Structure 1
Amino acid sequence: MEETKQTIKKKKGKAGGETRAGGGAEMPAGPKLKVAKAQGAAETDLRMKELLDRVVERTQAKKADAKPVIEAMLALLGETLAEGRGFNLAPLGKLSINRTAEKGPNRVVVAKLRQKLTPGTQDTEDSDGAPD
């Protein structure tokens, strides 16, 4: 994967500070975000078949037993997102919904997923990442 730098579009607010592109709270000036660019979706996206195979391999469950459980879990996660709710599921992480939009027959959800860098490490932050 090729790593490139991408910046968030910013505009000047009334007080001269930077605000988010859609308006709202002032953002402090900070470093540019590093975003990994994928070569192609077929190479990087996890598909249902691969997910099922990896779960079966990891749990030693039968494929016929694992498939309905995985499908039900994904359906519940999708319904949760459709309701506009985030979730905090270890070890996946905490997902916060930033905004949603209905575009034609599709729903677009813009979200932030916060994950721990190394599993099992303790830090002084709560599950939402804010210091005490």
Structure 2
Amino acid sequence: MPSETVGTDSPPALPEPHAALVVNKRDFIDRVVAATGARRSDARPIIEATLAQLGMVLSSGQTLAVPPLGRARINLERDARGGDVITLRLRRRPGPGEKS
């Protein structure tokens, strides 16, 4: 009678880690300008003020609920040498045409 080993199943495979794709502020502004058709000189100060307010709200510990971005709340916050490190939990609802 062959002996069977118990518990030799390997754990499920995790997705391969990949490098994060970073969208810098200049590219972000270009995308907003392209999506809205606004002039860059008009849109840039508004976008920068919006980003500054987002940063202030999150760094003050408040939950941010801004559809269609979603609901962002602080999961972990700590001080590091270069500044504050804030880990967010972002819950998004699927938009039209997105899978749930």
TM-score normalised by structure 1 residue count? 0.58
Structure 2 portions without partners, runs of 5+: 1-12
Structure 2 counterparts to residues 87-98 of structure 1, below 5 A: 87-98=64-75
Q: Which residue of 2 aligns with 1:46?
A: 23
More helix by share: 2
2-side partners of 1:37 and 1:69: how far apart? 35
Structure 2 counterparts to residues 1-132 of structure 1, below 5 A: 5=14, 37-39=17-19, 41=20, 44-117=21-94, 119-120=95-96
Aligned amino acid, residue 66 of structure 1: A
TM-score normalised by structure 2 residue count? 0.76
Larger radius of gyration: 2
1-side partners of 2:82 and 2:93: how far apart? 34
Aligned amino acid, residue 105 of structure 1: G
How far off its partner does 1:120 sit? 4.5
2-side partners of 1:38 and 1:56: how far apart? 29
1-side partners of 2:22 and 2:17: how far apart? 12
How far off its partner does 1:110 sit? 1.3
More strand by share: 1
Dislocated runs of 4+, deviation >3 Å: none
Structure 1 portions without partners, runs of 5+: 6-33, 122-132
**Cα RMSD for the two superposed structures:** 1.9
How many equivalent pairs are there?
85
2-side partners of 1:56 and 1:116: how far apart? 24
